[in-house]
Chain A
Amino acid sequence: ELKVEQNPLFLSMQEGKNYTIYCNYSTTSDRLYWYRQDPGKSLESLFVLLSNGAVKQEGRLMASLDTKARLSTLHITAAVHDLSATYFCAVGYMDSNYQLIWGAGTKLIIKP
């Protein structure tokens, strides 16, 4: 069974600090996705990582992928309050159809 585990599930941090969210998955996959969800809002796609060693950055967020370790990280640099949200990783998986298998999400609260 394919499992996707995010760590931590809840994170409270101060503005200006750095932190990393981890996403481990249990089988091979061709791509990994990071999404953001604000309370009461839709899921917004942040990054799609396609290959081993892939690194993508957008503002204060940087995502990386290590397919050998089956690990992706989402690094937050000098956090600001606007980054408070729940972050999900999802792993692409081909069964009878292509599916996304989701982590439980990391709720991030950034305090001024």
Chain B
Amino acid sequence: ETGVTQTPRHLVMGMTNKKSLKCEQHLGHNAMYWYKQSAKKPLELMFVYNFKEQTENNSVPSRFSPECPNSSHLFLHLHTLQPEDSALYLCASSPGGGLSSYEQYFGPGTRLTVT
């Protein structure tokens, strides 16, 4: 266990559905991340939050909408997804702050299938 939990672990949704992924970290960290992991591709950084403020949005389509209500929780709201959005979605956290604090701790991921 890394101290980062994600729910659900598996999700199957139709293209017209709306669902949300949840991430919670119990490490006292201040930065949280959403990544997309597709087969045979590098991890793609989607969003970064530092101290609850979104600091990075890597040209992610608007059908993905992040929310960070506090430093411990991160959500990814999904709507009208496409089949190519099927992937493993990973949440990570890091201490934030100074240069020694960038090591990221990952959750187990949510396996998303869009039908």
Binding site for B on A (CB under 8 A): 4, 9, 30-31, 33, 35, 40-45, 48, 88, 90, 92, 96-105
State how many angstroms separate the Cβ of A51 from the closest Cβ of chain B.
12
**A48 CA / B40 CA spacing, docked (Å):** 24
Interface size bracket, B side: 20 to 34
Contact A88 B99 (CB under 8 A): no
Q: A96-B55, A96-B56, A97-B55 are in contact. Are A45 and B103 (CB under 8 A)?
A: yes
Binding site for A on B (CB under 8 A): 2, 4, 40-43, 45, 48, 50, 55-56, 90, 92, 99, 102-109
* Residues from chain A with Cβ under 8 Å of B50 in the complex: 97
Q: Is the interface of A mostly helix, strand, loop or mixed?
A: strand
State how many angstroms separate the Cβ of A7 from the closest Cβ of chain B.
14
Q: A30-B99, A97-B48, A97-B50 are in contact. Are A45 and B105 (CB under 8 A)?
A: yes
